[in-house]
Amino acid sequence: MVYSGTRKRVRVMRKLTIYLISGTMLLSLLNFGDPVTVQAAERRLTETVAKVDTVTGIQKIETGTVNAVILGDSIAVSQGATNPLRTGWTRELKRALAEKYSHRISWDNKASSGTLVDYCLTRATEIESDTDVVFICVGRNDRNEYTPYQFSKKYELLIRVIKRKAPKADIFCIVEPPMVSDDESLFLGIRAAIKKVSAKAGVHLLDVWSTFPTDQEDLDGLLSDGLHPNDKGYKLMSNYMYNRLVWVIKTAK
């Protein structure tokens, strides 16, 4: 009887030990959690909070004027249009958005023809903290000055400067249209760099390049000089940007 009682006590102790170990493991999981599950929960929380935030950036056009800055080169200033102020992409985009939302974009165009990403870095320091949107339209000229890697580093820095100067601004990175040229392959590396950097930085991409035809003859009909879009080209550019902006505004709710 004594031996039998001892064996029963041993079995009971083993069960208690197992229960204690199991309980400890359960508490550990509850306290520390599975990293994947925790990260997923954090993302869901962030998304939920974002949906109820007050309207910012480009979304402000639903309720009032949007203050937008443009950084870039000759395409950013609509060079090649018969009248950049009337037939350029900024005018067309402003008109289309105003028709849809009954509010407008107020442009502060800091771009200049023939410039590189370095010029954008200089002008970015002038951005006001209450800027709603920043459009970056540069890269064409850089293809002959920098490797895609060198350009990407400067482009990354440019986005960081913008975020520091205007923390609440939406940033849209424009991939400029293709050109009729034998060295167009050089720009493909710049295009890839812009796409990669924008994705890494968590900002919006406007791949205007993709909406233009690849056939050289068809493309030439949309360009004024083989490089800069003509009125039809800027209309195509603004239509693409309009559709993308409307989508961003709609899906951000």
Tell me: do 130 and 146 sit in the same domain: yes
Tell me: do 38 and 137 sit in the same domain: no
Task: Read off the DSSP letter of residue 13.
Answer: H
Q: What is the CATH number of the domain that holds 131?
A: 3.40.50.1110
Task: Express each pLDDT in 2-52 by its tens digit.
Answer: 344 444 443 444 444 444 334 443 333 333 333 333 333 333 333 333 333
Tell me: do 36 and 140 sit in the same domain: no
**76 or 253: whose pLDDT is higher?**
76
Query: CA 93 → CA 67, 70, 112, distances in Å?
Result: 14, 13, 19
Tell me: do 115 and 187 sit in the same domain: yes
Tell me: do 121 and 14 sit in the same domain: no
Count of domains for the chain:
2
Domain of residue 67: give its range: 55-251
Tell me: do 137 and 184 sit in the same domain: yes
Task: Express each pLDDT in 67-92 by its tens digit.
Answer: 999 999 999 999 999 999 999 999 99
Q: pTM, whole model, 2 decimals?
A: 0.78
Query: CA 216 → CA 81, 180, 188, distances in Å?
Result: 20, 6, 16
Tell me: do 128 and 198 sit in the same domain: yes
Tell me: do 74 and 89 sit in the same domain: yes
Tell me: do 80 and 103 sit in the same domain: yes
Tell me: do 199 and 241 sit in the same domain: yes
Tell me: do 64 and 42 sit in the same domain: no
